[in-house]
Homo-oligomer: A and B are copies of this chain.
Amino acid sequence: MDRPIGVIDSGFGGLTVAKEIMRQLPKEKIVYIGDSARCPYGPRSTEEVRQFTWEMIYELLNKQVKMIVIACNTATAVVLEEARIALEIPVIGVIQPGAVRAMQTTKNQHIAVIGTTGTISSHAYTSALTAISEDVQVESLACPLFVPLVEQGILNGQEAEQIVATSLEPLADSLFDTLILGCTHYPLLKPVIEKAMPNHVHVISSGEETAREVSSLLHYHNLNRTAACPPIHRFYTTGEAEPFREFAERWLTINAQNVDTISLKRGLANRVGLKW
What residues of chain A have their CB less than 8 Å away from a CB belonging to chain B? 24-27, 96-97, 100-101, 103-104, 128, 131-135, 208, 211-213, 215-217, 219-220, 224, 226
Cβ of A216 and Cβ of B96 under 8 Å apart?
Answer: yes
Cβ of B212 and Cβ of A100 under 8 Å apart?
Answer: yes
Cβ of A103 and Cβ of B215 under 8 Å apart?
Answer: yes
Interface of A is mostly: helix
Show 22 A/B contacts (Cβ-Cβ < 8 Å), sorted by A.
A24-B103, A25-B132, A25-B133, A26-B132, A26-B133, A27-B132, A27-B133, A27-B134, A96-B216, A96-B219, A97-B216, A100-B212, A100-B216, A100-B219, A101-B212, A103-B215, A104-B212, A128-B219, A131-B226, A213-B216, A216-B216, A217-B220
List the number of copies, as a whole number.
2
Q: Which residues of B contact A24 (CB under 8 A)?
A: 100, 103-104, 132
CA distance A134 to B208 in the complex (A): 20
